[in-house]
Amino acid sequence: MNISKIKEQALKYLGYQGQSIDIQTEKLINECLDEINQIAHFKVVYQRYPLNHHPLRLHHISLEYDDLITLFQDCHEVIVIGCTLGVAFERTMKKLYLINMTKATIMDAIGSSYLEACCDEYEKTIIKEKRTFRFCPGYGRVPLSLNRELAQLLDCSKHIGLTIQNNDLLLPQKSMIGIIGLGQDKTKKSCHHCKQIEHCQFRKRGQRCYKTN
């Protein structure tokens, strides 16, 4: 696991854009990086499925959204992946928010970055062919409600303890469900279809929420 990459991405989530970090914040960041290995328990489940086009469909689930039609236009298979940092991380965050809001905010950003890094590393072990980036519902114009159908398909509740709340968000909160197209090299994300483009804080700071290199 590349700790400096996790730190770099977490700093981006915290709104840093290269400016120096004060000693107290640096200390808290390093503390969180030291502790995350003990409190986060990465769990993952995935399945490979054939993809049907016209209309775009995965198993019994419709994927007829412009973003996905474009992303998967030359893919005939996908991997659906679900992962989480688990309930211990969730409990720790709840406690931290009560006793140390600053550390909780930093741990939250490090948790997001750590989850992405764990998932990226895991994907390298299971995907050897050309692939698209991992597309998560809620990005672009693809509704969060797709999370529910994908979680049921993978039986995330049984395998990794990941459930979907009434508002279609994931629980534990540091969890992710994504779809990866296979057979097409499209690993670069863009802001083109993102719903947040008008008000995006990353873009206002000259950054992007995703890796650009």
For residue 60, the minimal CB distance to ligand SF4 (Å) is: 29
Size of the site for ligand SF4 (CB under 6 A): 9
68 exposure class (CB count in 10 Å sphere: 0-12, 13-18, 19+): buried
Whether the CB-CB separation of 66 and 144 falls below 8 Å is answered with no
What distances in angstroms separate CA 104 from CA 87, 93, 112, one per listed residue? 16, 6, 12
Tell me the two tokens of residue 175: 């969890």
- 1-24 as b/e: b if 16+ CB within 10 A: eeeeebbebbbbbbebeeeeeeee
User: Which residues inside 1-40 make contact with ligand SF4, applying CB under 6 A?
Assistant: none
Residues 65 to 124 in contact with ligand SF4, rule: CB under 6 A: none
Label residue 168 left, alpha or beta by phi (over 0 means left) and psi (-120 to 50 means alpha): left
Of the residues 5, 57, 59, 208, which one makes contact with ligand SF4 according to CB under 6 A: 208
Nearer to ligand SF4, 61 or 200 (CB): 200
Output the smallest distance, CB 51 to ligand SF4, in A: 23
* The token pair that represents 34 in the structure block: 């030291």
Cβ burial of 193 (10 Å; 0-12, 13-18, 19+) is middle
State which residue, 103 or 174, has the beta carbon closest to ligand SF4.
174
Nearer to ligand SF4, 3 or 200 (CB): 200
Q: Does 209 bind ligand SF4 (CB under 6 A)?
A: yes
Structure tokens at 167: 């508002």
Report, in Å, the least distance between residue 141 CB and ligand SF4: 12
CB nearer to ligand SF4: give 125 or 213.
Answer: 213
Measured from the CB atom, the residue of 95 and 195 that comes closer to ligand SF4 is 195
Residues within window 146-205 making contact with ligand SF4, judged by CB under 6 A? 191, 194, 196-197, 200, 202-203
Closest CA to 136 of 126, 145, 124: 145
Q: Does 211 contact ligand SF4 by CB under 6 A?
A: no
- Minimum CB separation of residue 193 from ligand SF4 in Å reads 8
Contact positions toward ligand SF4, by CB under 6 A? 191, 194, 196-197, 200, 202-203, 208-209
